[in-house]
Amino acid sequence: MTIKIYGDPGSGSLRRVTTAARLMGVGIERVNVDLFKGESHTPEFLRLNPHGLTPVMVDGDVVLYEASAINLYLAEKAGSDLPGRTPRERYEVLQWMFWSGEQWRVFSTLTFDERIVNRLLGKPEDAGVVALAARKIREAAAVLDARLADRPFIVGDRLTLADLDIAAPFSQSERTGVPFGEFPNLVAWQRRLLETVPAWADTKKEVDLRIDGVLAAAGLSS
């Protein structure tokens, strides 16, 4: 039975899953869910994820939401070492994946909601919210910049799921203006991912095409 992945191609979280699946050689069936048309809030979809968010994975009778959980599931199914090669590496990868959800991605998502989603809804951004998110992003980015000062990837000497989790906010950073550019090691790491991980570069093109198309359809510039 084919593993189905539900999501909007403009989603940085879906990007994490589709990239990981490709790297691990896991075949998936994409099911498009248009977030901008409210398709994630239909009764049918809410039975898969009551939060009305994507991505969602359906593998037989296994239903998972949250991209990090999906990637760990796919890795176990594929026997992949993307979660780490040794017990120590695996715990370190998990540490950074949890850190990313708690200290990192949430503030970039908040900025996207204020600066992109609100524009689509014809609402002004809340400057206070944007400022708070920028402060939190700078605090976390300083930790990452120090981490990446003498290493090519977040954990060990190669790509892991930690890199994909932490790289996800770069999917919208050019549109939202989050202050990643202030941290040279972080910028160099992201450039390295785009240059050395073809799947990550390909999914960036998909995200850009989708979001630029949504903005253009609404008469807005990207």
What span, in angstroms and rounded, lies between the C-alpha atoms of 73 and 3? Answer: 11
How does residue 222 score in pLDDT terms, banded at 50, 70 and 90?
A: low
What span, in angstroms and rounded, lies between the C-alpha atoms of 213 and 211? Answer: 5
* Contact in structure between 26 and 14 (CB atoms under 8 Å): no
pTM: 0.95
Tens digits of residue pLDDT in 35-79: 999 999 999 999 999 999 999 999 999 999 999 999 999 999 999
Tokens representing 97 are 């994946």
142 to 85, 176, 179, 214: CA distances (angstroms): 27, 19, 11, 32
88 to 41, 91, 167, 168: CA distances (angstroms): 40, 5, 22, 24
Residue 8: CA count within 13 A, CB half-sphere: 21
